Amino acid sequence: MKYIILGSLSFIFFYLFDYLNDKGRQSLKIISGLLGLIMMFYGTIGITFLGNVPSEASGLNWLYLILAVLFLLCLIYSLFLELPFTKTYGGSEFHTGLVKTGTYSLCRHPGVLWFFFMYFFYALYLESGIMLMASFIWTFIDVIYVILQEKYFFIKNFSDYGEYQRVTPMLIPNIKSIKKFINRARA
């Protein structure tokens, strides 16, 4: 349970990242973000070694692992490649251009979806009830975190965020946003 708590506490540092960014405290912002990532990573590794990694993974287990890695790659893509990395994570203030294309046309917080599915399939691969519980707890906290981001940071820092909220679902893609995503991907 201590590893679930550690991963849960990482979201405090992610929130501090946004708060410190809003206050122009670049160095502290970067330290806070890194501490959050380290805590989440350490919590994940701790739970991994608590469970029984399948020694003879079946075809289904390999599918779960492949899906977990696929969603990890989606998470990395959405958070670190689609967003301008230096302006988002290294700059002293929020970047001024709101990203509304790619996975951000599916929903406003695609990272939450990828995060959940990554941990969910990883838990199935590990056959770990603790990791499965962590996937739900951490995603619940992640949802609270993005609600706070929207309420206290994004609406204030992006002039067109209200319009983006109006036309793009928050967490769960809908038919309209999926069609928009597919049409832009084809172009």
Q: What is the pLDDT of residue 53?
A: 62
Give me the DSSP letters along 8-64.
Answer: HHHHHHHHHHHHHHHTT-HHHHHHHHHHHHHHHHHHHHHHHHHS---SS--HHHHHH
Place of tokens 């890194």: 34
Query: What are the residue boundaries of the structural domains of the chain, listed by start?
Result: 53-186
**Cα–Cα dist 164/177, whole Å:** 12
Give the chain's residues under pLDDT 70: 51-57, 85-96
Instruction: Tell me the DSSP string of 114-152.
Output: HHHHHHHHHHHHHT-HHHHHHHHHHHHHHHHHHHHHIII
89, burial (CB in 10 Å: exposed 0-12, middle 13-18, buried 19+) = middle
What is the per-residue pLDDT for 20? Answer: 93
pLDDT digits (tens, 9 = 90+) for 141-158: 999 999 999 999 999 888
Query: What is the DSSP-derived secondary structure letter of residue 111?
Result: H
State residue 184's pLDDT score: 83
pLDDT of residue 83: 86
Instruction: Please enumerate in sequence order all residues whose Cβ is within 8 A of that of 2, keeping only pairs 6 or more positions apart, or say none.
Output: 46
Torsion sign across C-alpha atoms 42, 45, 49, 50: positive
Integer Cα distance of 83 and 116 in angstroms: 20
Counting Cα atoms < 13 Å in the Cβ hemisphere of 115 gives: 24
User: What's the pLDDT score for residue 54?
Assistant: 62
Other C-beta atoms closer than 10 Å to the C-beta of 163 total: 12
pTM of the model: 0.90
Look at residue 17 in the predicted model and tell me its pLDDT. 93
Residue 167 three-state SS: helix
Q: Which two tokens stand for residue 177?
A: 């946003």
Nearest to 68 by CA among 84, 53, 83: 53
Are 131 and 47 a contacting pair, CB within 8 Å?
Answer: yes
